[in-house]
Structure 1
Amino acid sequence: MTVLAPIRPFRSVSHGLSLIEILVALAIAALLLLGLSQIFLGSKAAYSIQQGMSRSQENARFVFSYLEDNLRMAGYYGCGNEADSSLQFFNHIPGAGVPDPTGRVRFQRPIQGFEYTNCTTTSCATDNLDPAAAVAGDFTPPLNAANSDVLASATVKGSDVLILRVLSAKSTPALGAFDPTTGTFTVAAVPNEPNFVKAGEVYAATNCRPRVDIFRASGGSAGTTLIAGPVENQLRGGSVANDTWGFTNAQGEFQQPPLGTPAGTLNAEIHKAEYLAIFVGLDTNGNPALKVRHYDGTAGEVLPQLTTEEIVDGVESMHLTYGVDNNGDGLADDPFVKASDIQPAALADPVAIDAAWRKVVSVRVALLMRSQDRASATAKTGGNVFNVADAKLTRPSDGRFRDVYETTIALRNRLTSF
């Protein structure tokens, strides 16, 4: 018997995907890629904003630290002099009479501010949109010839200027006998700072009399040898013009030696004397940055010359207000005032200006910081306004992160106390 194989129905064999399946797969992949790209773009934007915020905060923290270190030294003159109302200043720098024509060695005025006031309600709100160089008349009190060196560094419109004349906390005692003919004496070596004594630098000799003598180290000064003469040995201003230390200072006061020391020993502490003009200026790329002008320490000059250094970038504007003690209780009066309130344009007497600024016991610093790069793909618009102390500034439409940072710094050595 023959058995026949079962008959199987015919079935076609399919290979690959249909067009509809491919289109569905592509649509799903596109949705996934779109989601991933949005996540990536969001993460990148968040990273950029976080970077801009971190950079701005770090720069602001550095600026506040720098200002605190220097502002707290305002009014310090060594050996308790800051507490004596009879404190006197004597200037031995050539060409700097009384009042000092450059303003750089008037250390009886350790702090002075200049408020940017040349604006209207509209322009002050937009001075930061396109930073431009300021001129002397933009400030109250005016930045006149005594402080025109600040303008040479492209101080920007819409930002205040702070000038400090301070003695460094670090000092060294004078050891050797003072030669009134050559103005030469020796000092103790400063640990870990072999260049503390350097030709061309400006120094202050102080003692407990109280008295402060400002002089510049002549050529040949180095290590532990200071030379303040014969030109710098002369006393500028005062009752006797062009007198020398030999009659007005060293013999009369500083050469009264401590017990057990040889006759003629200079009984004094030597500090570096620093002039600091702090302001917002333009860097080489036209971007605002916080800068400082200070003595450049070059020997052989008639007057100490200045050099400019950039402290930190990203500072778009700096505004200052001041705590003033008018009643002598050692506390700042409320509210804080502006520089134009302390020194109006009509106030011209140097002694009166000194007295006005010696009432300052604290400084409130407000900074408008910005990131160096764009922090957002979409520029923020709509006229957002930043309150920077007493100023109102408009947010530029450049996509950078911006924020305002403020701090109040108390002057450790109360200026009203001497």
Structure 2
Amino acid sequence: MPIGFTITGNSRGISLIEMMIAMLIGMLLLGGVYRIFISTTTSYRFEEELSNLQENGRFAMEFLTRDTRQTGYRGCAGSGVSVTNTLNAGAGALFDFDRAVEGYDDVADPNAADFVAMGITPIIGSDVLILRKMDSDVMVEIVEQMPDTSADIKITGGINPAPIADFDIVMVSDCQAAAVFQVTNYTDGGGSIKADVVHNSGVGSPGNATKDLGHSFGPGAEIAKMTTYVYFIGTNADGEPGLYYKVSSGVAQEIVGGIESMQITYGIDADSDRDIDSYVTAAGVADWATVLAVRVGLLVASMDEVLRGEVDAAAYTLNGTNIAAANDRRLRQVFTTTVALRNRLP
């Protein structure tokens, strides 16, 4: 018996119009999801770059604040004690230990002789900060009175690792005097309680102009390495700016990226009353011994361009200096802090 099928009028498939409507609705939903995804991704990138920018700014300020606060440390010898610098004249800013703090304002020529001598290449328009201090981490006591002001120095021996090496630049100080010289020979007695620090002239670089330290140091005096910190804004291999620093005769290193400008002013005591009278640029400092505080301004930018539909067309005022608009899509923020020189406080 044949089997038959009956198709009723109510049984039909999806029409082309219905399919097109369904596809349109799906595309609209998909477009909405995509827009939400893009918006979320953009917001995430913005927040991430802002967070990184702020972290870089804080990190840079932490470095600068720490070293600036400690600059000028001389052991027992306060800021009022004169320093005898026996190093050969003309050794350069890395060895000018008569000045605890020093700076260069508004760099015009990155290849100027002073910068070449220091081994740095700062960017045009930014400032350079130089800080010098006695290294308080490893200080050794003198154990025997110098028979005269040119004699070798006897210090605590048997220290491992040795606190001093040949050709280190060191300072010896007590509460009455201080002297800077280059060690020409350091000899530990090998189990002896004394080590011998020799400071002859005519040896090493920059070398000592004289053996005479100007003072006979004895028990209670301390000796330690001298350290010079040079902070500046440089550029890396990709041409991106960052905060660099150089420690003494070492190689300059980038410590924080995205730092576009550093502008510094110095709080000076013009009338010797131990109060700051004004803040001036490095060009306005007549006597670096009058500097009681350092005010640092940093312009920090995000590492990537994250602004959408607009550029950063704002000009910035950084510690009194006008910075032209970059007209790109990076985020920027100004950081400013004032640091008192602890070793020059009353």
Q: TM-score, structure 2 length as denominator?
A: 0.83
Which residue number corresponds to residue 360 of structure 1? 291
Equivalent residue for 2:48? 51
Which secondary structure does the structure 1 equivalent of 2:70 belong to?
coil
What is the letter of the counterpart of residue 46 of structure 2? Answer: I
The unaligned stretches of length 5 or more in structure 1 are 1-8, 119-132, 137-144, 258-266, 297-305, 344-355
CA distance in structure 1 between the partners assigned to 2:227 and 2:341 by the alignment: 17
AA aligned opposite 1:275 = T
In structure 2, C-alpha distance between the alignment counterparts of 1:372 and 1:162, rounded to whole Å:
24
Matched position secondary structure for 1:116: coil
Tell me what 2:283 maps to: 340
1:149 aligns to what?
Answer: 117
Contact preservation (8 Å) 2:258, 2:303:
yes
Match of 1:274 in 2: 227
Partner of 2:280, secondary structure, is coil
Letter in 2 for 1:149: A
Q: Cα gap change, 1:221/1:71 in structure 2, threshold over 3 Å: closer, same or farther?
A: farther
Distance 1:200 1:316 in 2: 36
Aligned-pair CA distance for 1:232: 7.1
* 1:152-191 alignment runs, 5 A limit: 152-177=119-144, 183=152, 185-187=154-156
Q: Which fold has the larger relative contact order, with Cα–Cα distance below 8 Å and residues 6 or more apart in sequence?
A: 1
Residues 252-331 of structure 1 mapped to structure 2, 5 A cutoff: 253-255=216-218, 257=219, 267-296=220-249, 306-331=250-275
Out of 293, 307, 321, the position equivalent to 1:376 is 307
What displacement does 1:110 show? Answer: 0.9
CA distance in 2, matches of 1:69, 1:14: 84
Distance 1:34 1:226 in 2: 80
C-alpha separation in 1, matches of 2:330 and 2:188: 49
**1:172/1:187 contact within 8 Å kept:** no
CA contact (8 A) 2:172 2:222 kept: yes
1:200/1:213 CA distance change after superposition, 3 Å: closer
Query: In the alignment, does 2:343 pair up with 1:413?
Result: yes
Go from structure 1 to structure 2 and tell me whether the alpha carbon gap of 1:409 and 1:222 turns closer, same or farther (over 3 Å shift): farther
Are 1:182 and 1:227, in contact at CA under 8 Å, matched by a contact in 2? no
Compared CA separation, residues 291 and 103, structure 1 to 2 (3 A):
same
Q: How many residues align?
A: 335
Contact 2:105 2:128 in 1 (8 A): yes
Deviates more, 1:156-165 or 1:393-402: 393-402
Match of 1:114? 104
Identical-residue share of aligned pairs (%)? 27
| Per-residue deviation, 1:392 | 1.9
Q: Secondary structure at the match of 1:163?
A: strand
**Aligned with 2:15 (options 18, 31, 54):** 18
Q: Is the 8 A contact 1:78 1:207 kept in 2?
A: yes
Aligned twin of 2:331: 401
1:134 equivalent in alignment to 2:110:
yes
Query: TM-score of the superposition, structure 1-length normalised?
Result: 0.70
1:201 Cα deviation after fit: 3.1
Aligned-residue offset at 1:404: 1.0
1:202·1:215 contact (CA, 8 Å) conserved in 2?
A: yes
CA contact 2:83–2:177 (8 Å) conserved in 1: yes
Note closer, same or farther for the CA distance 1:208–1:116 as it changes in structure 2 (3 Å cut).
same
Query: What is the match of residue 3 of structure 2?
Result: none
Q: CA deviation at 1:116?
A: 0.6
The alpha-carbon deviation at position 105 of structure 1 amounts to: 2.1
Provide the rounded CA distance (Å) in 1 between the counterparts of 2:258 and 2:59. Answer: 12
How far, CA to CA, are the matches of 2:188 and 2:243 in structure 1? 32
After superposition, the CA RMSD in angstroms is 3.4
**Contact 1:324-1:362 within 8 A present in 2 as well:** yes
Q: Is the 8 A contact 1:322 1:363 kept in 2?
A: yes
Provide the C-alpha distance between the structure 1 equivalents of 2:67 and 2:305, rounded to a whole number of angstroms: 33
Aligned-pair distance for 1:218?
4.1
1:388 lines up with 2:318 in the alignment: yes
